Structure 1
Amino acid sequence: MAPSIAQAPPSPSPKKLRTSGQLDPIYSLLRPYSDFPSAITGPTLWHASDYASNSDAWVHRWTKEEIAAIGEAADKFMEEGKRLTEITRENFVLKGELRDYLEKVRKMLVDGRGFGLWKGLPVDEWGVEKAAVAYMGIGTYLGYFVSQNSRGHILGHVKDLGEDSRQIDKVRIYRTNARQFFHCDDSDLVGLLCITRAMRGGESDIVSAHHVFNTLQRERPDIVRTLCEPNWYFDRKGEVSKGQKEWIRSSVFYFYDDRVYVKWDPYYVKSLTRFSDKGLIPALTPEQLEAAEVLEETCNKLALHMVLEVGDIQFVSNTHCLHARTAYEDHPWPAPRRHLMRLWLATPEGEGGWRLPFTDSKEKKRGGIQVDEQEEVSPFDAE
C-alpha cells in the first residue's frame, strides 16, 4: 500500500510557473462584430444529436491495463514522498499507447469537439489520496495546473459548504448546491472527477459554443452583436491582488487569430450592482439583459446531457464549449456529500493552445486566479 501524503505541507510552485491570473484583454486586438464569420465550421462545431445516442463517440471506459498503468504511476509517485503540487508528467510516467492516447485526447479537447467522459477510475478502491494523484497525473498530460481561487487551489473541490448561493457577489457557486447556469471557467480546459454522487440532481450539460453562435447568427444576429461588444463587466468577487480592479471588461464572444471563442458566466455578470449602483461601472443595459437570457435559453435548447458516476472524469474545453450543472440535494447526514475534484488546465499557444488576445497568451500557466503571492496548494478536500 502506498504511503499517505495527506499530511504533506503545501509546496510552493516555481515562480516561473506561477498562475498568471485574470487579465483584461488587449482591446486593440479585439475585432468588431462586422469582422466575425457569419457561421463557424470545422471540428469544434458539434450537435447534441450527434452524440446523445452514440456514447461510443465520446465515452471511454478505462481498460484494466490502463487502470493498472495509472495506478502504478500513482503508487510510485506516492512512494517518492513528493507533495501533490510537485506532480508532473516527468514523475508521473505513463508510457506507450496510453501516453499516445492522452496526447490525442489533448488535441481533441483543444482543437476538436472539446469534451469527453472517461469512466471507471476505481476511486472507492483507491481512496481519495491515490485517486487525487491519479487524476492530477492524467491532467499533466493535458495541460498545466492553474490556481482556481484566492487560496491557490490547483486541486479544487466542488462540494456544498452551506454557503448562501443568493450572495452572488461573494459566493462561488461551486461551493453551494445551486444550479450553475451555462458558463466557462478561467482556464483553457476544466476537468471534474466524481468522488461521491448526490442523492438527486447535480447532473451535467455541455454545449458547443460554436453551435450556439451559429444558431444565434441565424435567429438573432442582434443578440450576437451585443455579445461581441467589449463592454461586458465580469466580477472578480474580491479575488484580486493589491492595486487591481474588482472587475474585468471584455466581450462574451471574441474573434481573434481566425477563431471565435467564448468567455461567459452569468453569475459574474449579474453580481456587479454594488459597483454599478455607485456609478463605478455601467449597469447592464436592457439589450445585455435580453442577450444573457437568450444565450441561456439557446444553450439549454442545444445541450448534451450527461450524468457523472463515481469514478467518472469529464474534461471540457473552456474556449469553445459551455457547461452547466443542475441543482442537487445531498443524502441526509451522516452520508458523504456530493464531491467532485476539479482541475483547471492551461494549454499555452507555444504548445498547441489557441492564441488569445491577452498578454499571458504564451505563458504556460495562463489564466486562472492569482492573488498577490499566494502559493499553489492541493488540498484533498474542500476548505
Structure 2
Amino acid sequence: MRSPINHPSAWRAADIAAGGHWLRPLSGPEVDAVAAMLHSVRTGGKAMLELTPDDVPLGAFAPVLTELTDALEHGIGFRTLRGLPAERLSVDDNRLLFWAIGTHLGVARPQGKASQLMSDVRAAGGEYRGAGGRGYNTNAELDYHTDGTDVVGLYCLRTARSGGISRVASSVAIHNEILHCEPALVERLFQSFPHNRQNEEAADEPPFYLAPVYSFRDGHFAARYIRNHIRASQLRADTLRLTDLDHRALDIVQDLAETDEFRFDMVLQPGDMQFVNNHVVIHARTHYEDYDEPERKRHLLRLWLSVPHGRPLCEGLRDVYKSVEPNTVRGGFKGQHVGPALRAYQARAAAALGMRDTPY
C-alpha cells in the first residue's frame, strides 16, 4: 500500500511564499567573483566544450553552488540565483558564463534534433501542439511538464513585454494529494504511457517510447510528466491508445498544478538563473507578448544537466534516460548530430565530475 511522501520537496505554494528559500540574491563579493571567473575563462582561451571545473575558478561564488545543489536534491527542488550581470554582458559572454557555471553542476545533455547542448529559449516560429512540437521556441502557454534530464537551468537575458511568467509545482505534493483523493489514479500514473519523440529521434531510436509518470526506486521518488509528448503519441497509429482512465490520471496532475494551493509563480528578471530538479518539480510558463524590436525580444538560455550523486531511477525510465544508475551520465534527447567533439566533451566532463560516462 502506498503512503504519502514526507520530504522538503513535498511543498505547497504557501510554504514557498512564506519561506522565501526559492530565491538566492547574490552579494556584491559573489557577483565580483562571477566577473573574475568569466574573465579567467575568457582569457584562458579554451573553447566551451573543452572547459572543465578546473578551468572555472569560483572563489566566493563556490558556496552559492554548494547551497544550490543541496536545495535541488535534498530541499525544495528548485532555486533561482538573482543578480548576475546579464545586462552588462554580450550574448556570447552570457552564454560562456552560463556554460562555465554548468561545468561545476553537471554534464550538459543534448536537447533536440540538432543535438544542441544549450538552447535559446525565444519565440522562433515553432508550434507547441503537434507531432513535432516543442515549447521553448514558441511564445505559447506551456502545460506543466518536466524536461528530459536530472536538472534544467534557465538563464534570463531579456524579458517579454508582457507575460512569460514562470510557474512551478511540487510533483511530490501533487502525488500525495492524488493518493489522498483518487488512489486509483496514482496507481495508473505508476504504469507506462506512450511518449512521442517529436520527430527528433536519432537513427538508432524508435519514434516513441514507454515511460511511467511516477516511479520509485530504493526509496527515491521520481516524476516524468510531459503531457504534450504523450498527447502527440496519439497522432500515431502504432502506439498504445489512451483510455478514459489514462486521460483522467493525466488531467488531475495538470489540474492540481494549476490551482493556487500548488502553483508558485515567479517573474524571472534579467540576470536570474533558475535551476529545477525535474524528478520532483514540474514547471510551466504563461503565454507572452514580445516587443517588436528584435534586440528587445524575450531571450533565455537553457541547459539540461545530468548531475553527480543524483537519485537512482526505475528500470521503466531506461529507454529515455539510457542509464538509470546514480552518478552516471543520463538523459537528454540524443538528436541526429552527435559527433566526435560532443562525445569527447561528454567523456571529459564526466571524468572531471567523477561520473561514469554512458557512451552514445
Quote the residue 1:41 is aligned against: 6
Contact 1:145–1:365 under 8 Å retained in 2: no
Partner Cα separation in structure 1 for residue 286 and residue 332 of structure 2: 24
Tell me by how many angstroms 1:271 deviates. 0.6
Does 2:108 match 1:151? Answer: no
Instruction: Name the SS for the 1:52 alignment partner.
Output: helix
Displacement of 1:181 = 0.8
CA 1:366–1:39: 2 relative to 1, 3 Å: same
Does the aligned pair in 1 maintain the 2:10–2:173 contact within 8 Å? yes
Shift of 1:141: 2.1
Query: Deviation at 1:335?
Result: 4.7
Residues 115, 336 of structure 2: 8 Å contact kept: no
Residue 181 of structure 2 corresponds to 219
The answer for the alignment partner of 2:83 in structure 1 is: 120
- Structure 1, unpaired ranges of 5+: 1-33, 379-383
2:138 and 2:336 mapped to 1: Cα distance?
26
Whether 2:52 is the aligned partner of 1:88: answer: yes
For the Cα contact (< 8 Å) 1:227–1:251, is it kept in 2? yes
Cα distance per residue 1:146-168 (max 9 Å; x no partner)? 111121211111111012334x2
1:198-240 alpha-carbon deviations (Å, 9 max, x no partner): 111110111111100001111111221111112x011101222
In structure 1, what is the equivalent of residue 281 of structure 2?
A: 321
The 8 Å contact of residues 75 and 130 in structure 1, kept in 2 or not, is answered as no
1:165-314 aligned within 5 A: 165-166=128-129, 168-230=130-192, 232-275=193-236, 278=237, 280-301=238-259, 302-314=262-274
CA distance in 1, matches of 2:306, 2:47: 21
Distance of aligned partners of 1:374 and 1:63 in 2 relative to their CA distance in 1, 3 Å threshold: same
Which residue is 1:16 aligned to? none
SS of corresponding position for 1:365 = coil
Which secondary structure does the structure 2 equivalent of 1:173 belong to?
coil
| Counterpart in the other structure of 1:12 | none
Q: Which moved more, 1:191-200 or 1:148-157?
A: 148-157
Q: 1:335 to 1:90 in 2, by over 3 A?
A: closer
CA distance in 2, matches of 1:101, 1:310: 19
The one-letter amino acid of 2:263's match is A
1:366 is paired with a residue whose SS is coil
Q: Which has the higher helix share?
A: 2
> Distance between the aligned counterparts of 1:184 and 1:334, measured in 2?
29
What are the Cα deviations for residues 28-52 of structure 1, in whole angstroms up to 9, with x where unaligned? xxxxxx5xx3200022221211122
Question: Relative to structure 1, is the Cα distance of residues 373 and 163 closer, same or farther in structure 2, using a 3 angstrom cutoff?
Answer: closer
Deviation readout 1:256-308 (Å, 9 max, x if unpaired): 11122101111101012332xx3x12211111112222110111121111100
Structure 1 stretch displaced more, 44-53 or 364-373: 364-373
Tell me the amino acid that sits aligned with residue 258 of structure 1: G
Query: 1:243, CA displacement in angstroms?
Result: 3.5
| C-alpha distance in 2 between matches for 1:372 and 1:327 | 30
What RMSD over aligned residues (CA atoms) do the two structures have, in Å?
A: 1.9
Is residue 111–residue 335 contact of structure 2 (8 Å, CA) maintained in 1?
Answer: no
Could you tell me which residue of structure 1 aligns to residue 348 of structure 2? none
Superposed CA offset, 1:332-356 (max 9, x none): 2345221110111112xxx421011
Does residue 360 of the first structure (1) align with residue 323 of the second (2)?
yes
Identity of aligned residues (%): 27
| 2: CA distance, partners of 1:184 / 1:150 | 18
- Match of residue 133 from structure 1: 96
TM-score under structure 2 length normalisation: 0.88
Other-structure match for 1:26 = none
TM-score, normalised to structure 1's length? 0.83
* In 1: Cα distance, 2:116 partner to 2:89 partner: 22
Change (3 A) 1:334 1:354: closer
Could you tell me which amino acid in structure 2 is paired with residue 284 of structure 1?
L
Q: Secondary structure at the match of 2:232?
A: coil
Determine if contact 1:106/1:141 at 8 Å carries over to the other structure: no
The code of the aligned residue for 1:195 comes to L
CA distance in 1 between counterparts of 2:115 and 2:44 reads 24
Residue correspondence of structure 1 range 6-21 to structure 2 within 5 A: none
Partner SS for 2:269: coil
